[in-house]
Structures are given as structure tokens and as C-alpha cells.
């Protein structure tokens, strides 16, 4: 798979069969419209990605905002230094100052990569960059060279590669390699590629660009071909794939981590000798976690991780599967974590058993977050007969999002409604020992509850997104609610999300709304502190 001048089929470890899995859920995935993750949520996703076994985590775009910088830095410090940790990557434009800022966020990781990019298509160069080809070449050399001063692991991407004139793209790629790039990523930024063309492009680059580098794919799903294009790239010799959990990303999203990995696992005949280090049994858990934290539900018929991925309605299909799973299933559900052990916990279970169970599930929670999660578990155990692993995950995920020390806490909620009369709600919230009470009417009980919380907290905001789903099946299933708010007044322009879980969907909605309010308060306080530090 190698040529005389290139080792593009090899990885930094020298194994030509190892496919590097580069996860960009926390960078490109978070750019999906309406997603706003805070540092604690990004850290939790990064921890799960490490359990999945990806090779790289692209943790963010440090120069984009102080919040993004701090999240990348936190992930580099923690996840990036765990035993067997993935390498941590940050995205950077070619500007020298941007590259330096990116390295500042990454430098504490045991292994760090700087990912430098610049647009190369005529559309981007003319309308966005206002640059000539000569200027883009110069920027490429400067940005990659600066990155190489910080680390030996440098990736370069010619943004919108599939709409870039071939000869110019090859010239840019050669310049990047000469400047020190060790990975060349070919982004199908607008989802323009077709599998056979994209595969041919990868082959052509391998032949025409000499040097010691790994070729990578980054495919978007605008035509529904992201996974297909990615696999075509692998077949053509690419040995890194850039993917997102659940296929998140700009517009129609990116190639889905779970789809690419399982295609390689199920069809080794098409990719002889190619393998990944991904622990596939963690894929479903990663999917559920990312879905809850981002507020993006997973479509029921989503490949590999969808609720219906292993469901059979047809009598003929049911008969076949009961006789032998392989009749209508090419993937064993347990191999992707869709079917796992059911934990046995109930209202008589103690804190030690609860903590031990979390550890066995791969969830490491300590301190106040563990205490709060345990209290929520005990509340749930009084309402729900059977508590599943998915229920526990939902509780822990909610509590990990409550990282505001002096945040508002929901003390009590009373609602009334129906087909007669106006729905009403009364809430009591507490903050720093003070209790605040309010009552409101609304278009429904959920609306009334949210209005009451807004009145009690005094935090002005506008609801811009509301998603409700069930964590498991059954009439006593946990309702999982994610709300998205846009601040008004002192928090104008700030967009946040909040999550709440409960067997009562009205209570779950109130919890989610209050969690989002707490985030608005925290971000407002942080911004005000920074203004004081910076001065007039």
C-alpha cells in the first residue's frame, strides 16, 4: 500500500494496517446548529471517547473563544494524561498567533497535535479569504512551520478540497509536507464528493505528493455519502478517518464514527488487513451520552445505534431472528453495546453499591456530583420498579451538568392542568440558602412551570429549543428533556442548553429549564469577572 516516496498507508506507529480514528465530535460536531456544550460536558464526552478507544480527540478550536480554549485545556490536562489516553488535538487557522494559542491550550497533554487549515477552493478564496493562490501557499508554509516548532505531530487541511482545482491543491499539499505536516487531511467540506471520485482523489494524492505523512479523510453528509466517501478513501489508502459520534456536524453532519468502524468490522474482505483500536461495545453508550448532552436525538432507524437498529416488526423477520440471529442481523447488538447486562439496584441499595456499579459501567463520579446522583437515584427508586443501566447513565449525565456551586436548586413543583381551566404551576427554588417562590399560568403545564422558574430566578431568557425522549421503554420510563435557551437582558446573545430527567415529564422539563438558567448565570458571572480583570 506504500509508494516509493510516501508512507501514507502507515501511521505514526509504523503499522500499515492500523486505521487512525480521529474523533471531531467536540469540534466539528459541536458546530451543529443549536449545540452549546460547556467544559464539564465536553470533558464527560472526552472521557467516553477515551473509553471507546479513539486515537485522537479533536477537542475544539481554542482561538474561537475563551470557553473553547478552557475546554481544550481541561481535556488536555485530564483525559490527555490518563493511561493509554488518546492524543488531544486542537484546530487552528494558519495565523501564527492562532497556532501559538492552540498550542497553549494543548501543551499539557501527554500527546498533542495541532491541526492547521486554510481554504483552497476558488469560492472560499474569493469570497472569504480575499487571497490569491500565492498568498494561500505562503500562509500554508507559515502556519505549518510554526506548528512544527511546537510539536512533531502536525495535521494540515486544505478546506473545501473537493472543489479545489487539482493542481493547486497538490501544490498546497506539497508545501504543507515540506513545512513539516505529518498528516494530510482531505476535507470534503461541503459534501460534494462521490465515492468513486473521492477514492480516486486519495489515490492520486498518494502518487503525486511525496513525503512522510499519513493521508486522512474528513467527509460531510450533504448528499448522504459521508460514510461511503470515507470508506472509499480507506480503500484507496487513507489511514486516518475523521468522524463524529452520531454523525454530528455542520449542516447534514459528518461521517458517523459508529458506521465507519462497524463497516470495517463487518466487511474485512473489502478492507484486508485494516483494523482500529475502537472498543465497539462502547459505541451505544457514547451515542446516548452525546445525544443527551447535545440535545440532538438519534433517529430511530439510525444505523448501528438507533433504537430500531435491532428491532423486527415483520412476522417473517421475527421468525427468522428467533431461529438464528444471523438471518436478518449482520451485527450482534451486544457487540456495539445495544444489549448489555442489566444492573440490579433498588431503593434499598446503598451508596457503596451505587458507586461500585458506576465504576463497573466506566462512569467515574466523585464528590458532590456523586452525592447528588445518589440522591436522585434514591428518589427514582421510590418511583420506578426496574432501574436499568440507561437510567443510571441519564441520572449521572444530568448531575455532571450541574457544576454551578451557587446555582438555583429545585425545591418543589406543583402543577395543575387538563382540558378545563388554565394550566398553572408553582415552584420553589433555592440559592445559597434563600428560598424563592413564584406561580404562573401558561399554555400548558410545562410552559407554566418554565414561566414560574423565570419569575422566581429573575433570569431573562427565550426558549429556542425543546426536545423530549424516553430513556427506556415502559410506562414508568424516565423522561429525558433538553431545552435550549437564548439569554436576554444581561445575558443577551448567550445560548445554552440544559438537561433534566424524571419519570414525570413536567418535572424533567422544569429541571432542564433550571439547568439552562444556571448556565446562563454562570456564563454571565464569568464574563463579568473577565471584564473586571481586563479593565476599561
pLDDT tens string 140-181: 999 999 999 999 999 999 999 999 999 999 999 999 999 999
The predicted pLDDT at position 240 comes to: 98
Instruction: For residue 207, give the nearest of 42, 8, 27, 500 by alpha carbon.
Output: 8
The predicted pLDDT at position 345 comes to: 67
Alpha-carbon distance 291 to 489, whole Å? 30
Alpha-carbon distance 51 to 283, whole Å? 9
> Sign of torsion, CA 271 274 278 282?
positive
> Sign of torsion, CA 451 452 454 458?
positive
Choose the most confident range, by mean pLDDT, from 9-23, 357-371, 439-453, 522-536. Answer: 439-453
The predicted pLDDT at position 536 comes to: 37
The predicted pLDDT at position 372 comes to: 80
On whether the CB atoms of residues 251 and 191 are closer than 8 A, the answer is yes
Global confidence as pTM: 0.77
Q: Does domain 409-533 have CATH number 3.30.160.270?
A: yes
The predicted pLDDT at position 472 comes to: 67
Choose the most confident range, by mean pLDDT, from 32-36, 234-238, 366-370. Answer: 234-238
Alpha-carbon distance 398 to 207, whole Å? 50
Instruction: For residue 95, give the nearest of 136, 143, 150 by alpha carbon.
Output: 143
Give the list of residues 6+ apart from residue 527 with CB closer than 8 angstroms, or none. none
Q: Mean pLDDT over all residues of the chain?
A: 86
Same fold, 20-294 and 409-533: no
On whether the CB atoms of residues 254 and 21 are closer than 8 A, the answer is no
| Confidence band for 523, pLDDT divided at 50, 70 and 90 | confident
Alpha-carbon distance 154 to 89, whole Å? 9
Buried b (16+ CB within 10 A) or exposed e, 174-212: bbbbebbbbbbbbbbbbbbbebeebbebbbebbebbebe
How many CA atoms does the CB half-sphere of 521 hold within 13 Å?
20
The predicted pLDDT at position 446 comes to: 94
361-385: average pLDDT: 76
More reliable by pLDDT, 25 or 468: 25
Please name the CATH architecture into which domain 20-294 falls.
Answer: Alpha-Beta Barrel (3.20)
Instruction: For residue 115, give the nearest of 196, 176, 68 by alpha carbon.
Output: 176
The DSSP code sequence of 361-394 is TT----HHHHHHHHHHHHHHHHH-S---HHHHHH
3-class secondary structure per residue, 329-357 = CCCCHHHHCCCCCCCCCCCCCCHHHHHHH
Q: What are the φ/ψ torsions at residue 496 (nearest 5 degrees)?
A: -140, 165
Least confident of 224-233, 331-340, 343-352, 489-498: 343-352
The predicted pLDDT at position 396 comes to: 75
The predicted pLDDT at position 379 comes to: 77
Phi/psi-derived region of residue 117, left when phi > 0, alpha when psi is between -120 and 50, beta in every other case: beta
Q: What are the φ/ψ torsions at residue 297 (nearest 5 degrees)?
A: -70, 150
The predicted pLDDT at position 479 comes to: 83
- Structural domain spans, the chain: 20-294, 311-339, 351-400, 409-533
103-127: average pLDDT: 96
Amino acid at each position: 500500500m506504500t509508494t516509493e516516496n510516501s508512507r501514507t498507508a502507515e501511521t505514526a506507529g509504523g503499522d500499515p494496517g492500523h486505521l487512525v480514528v480521529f474523533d471531531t465530535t467536540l469540534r466539528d460536531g459541536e458546530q451543529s446548529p443549536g449545540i452549546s456544550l460547556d467544559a464539564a460536558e465536553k470533558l464527560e464526552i472526552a472521557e467516553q471517547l477515551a473509553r471507546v478507544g479513539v486515537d485522537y480527540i479533536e477537542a475544539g478550536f481554542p482561538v474561537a473563544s475563551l470557553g473553547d480554549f478552557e475546554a481544550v485545556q481541561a481535556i488536555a490536562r485530564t483525559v490527555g494524561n490518563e493511561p493509554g489516553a488518546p492524543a488531544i488535538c486542537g484546530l487552528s487557522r494558519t495565523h501564527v498567533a492562532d497556532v501559538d494559542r492552540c498550542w497553549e491550550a494543548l501543551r499539557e497533554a501527554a500527546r498533542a497535535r495541532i491541526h492547521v487549515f486554510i481554504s483552497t477552493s476558488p469560492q472560499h478564496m474569493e469570497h472569504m479569504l480575499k487571497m490569491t493562490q500565492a498568498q494561500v501557499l505562503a500562509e500554508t508554509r507559515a502556519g505549518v512551520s510554526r506548528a512544527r516548532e511546537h510539536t512533531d505531530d502536525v495535521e494540515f487541511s486544505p478546506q473545501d478540497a473537493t472543489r479545489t482545482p487539482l493542481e493547486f491543491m497538490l501544490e498546497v499539499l506539497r508545501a504543507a509536507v515540506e513545512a513539516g505536516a505529518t498528516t494530510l487531511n482531505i476535507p470534503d467540506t461541503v459534501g460534494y464528493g462521490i465515492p468513486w471520485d473521492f477514492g480516486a482523489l486519495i489515490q492520486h494524492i498518494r502518487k503525486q505528493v511525496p513525503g512522510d505523512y499519513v493521508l486522512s479523510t474528513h467527509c460531510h453528509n450533504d448528499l448522504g455519502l459521508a460514510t461511503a466517501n470515507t470508506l472509499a478513501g480507506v480503500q484507496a489508502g487513507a489511514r486516518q478517518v475523521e468522524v463524529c459520534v452520531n454523525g454530528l456536524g455542520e449542516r447534514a453532519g459528518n461521517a458517523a464514527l459508529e458506521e465507519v468502524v462497524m463497516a470495517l468490522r463487518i466487511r474485512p474482505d473489502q478492507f484486508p488487513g485494516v483494523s482500529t483500536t475502537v472498543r465497539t461495545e462502547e459505541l451505544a453508550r457514547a451515542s446516548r451520552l452525546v445525544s443527551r448532552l447535545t440535545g440532538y436525538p438519534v433517529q430511530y432507524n439510525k444505523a448501528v445505534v438507533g433504537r430500531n437498529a435491532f428491532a423486527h416488526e415483520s412476522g417473517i423477520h421475527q421468525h427468522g431472528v428467533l431461529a438464528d440471529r444471523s438471518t436478518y442481523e449482520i451485527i450482534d447488538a451486544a457487540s456495539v453495546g445495544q444489549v448489555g447486562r442489566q444492573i440490579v439496584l433498588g431503593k434499598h441499595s446503598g451508596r457503596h453499591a451505587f458507586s461500585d456499579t458506576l465504576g463497573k459501567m466506566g462512569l467515574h463520579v466523585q464528590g458532590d456530583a456523586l452525592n447528588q446522583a445518589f440522591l436522585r437515584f434514591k428518589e427514582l427508586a421510590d418511583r420506578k420498579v426496574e432501574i436499568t443501566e440507561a437510567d443510571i447513565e441519564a441520572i449521572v449525565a444530568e448531575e455532571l451538568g450541574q457544576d454551578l456551586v451557587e446555582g438555583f436548586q429545585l425545591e418543589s413543583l406543583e402543577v395543575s392542568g387538563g382540558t378545563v381551566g388554565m394550566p398553572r404551576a408553582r415552584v420553589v427554588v433555592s440559592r445559597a440558602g434563600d428560598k424563592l417562590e413564584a406561580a404562573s399560568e401558561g399554555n400548558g403545564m410545562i410552559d407554566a412551570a418554565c414561566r414560574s422558574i423565570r419569575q422566581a430566578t429573575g433570569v431573562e431568557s427565550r426558549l429556542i429549543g425543546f426536545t423530549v425522549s424516553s430513556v427506556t421503554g415502559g410506562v414508568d420510563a424516565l423522561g429525558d428533556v433538553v431545552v435550549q435557551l437564548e439569554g436576554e437582558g444581561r445575558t443577551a446573545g448567550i445560548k445554552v442548553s440544559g438537561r433534566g430527567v424524571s419519570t414525570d415529564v413536567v418535572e424533567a422539563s422544569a429541571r432542564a429549564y433550571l439547568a439552562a438558567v444556571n448556565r446562563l448565570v454562570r456564563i454571565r458571572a464569568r464574563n463579568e469577572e473577565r471584564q473586571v480583570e481586563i479593565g476599561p
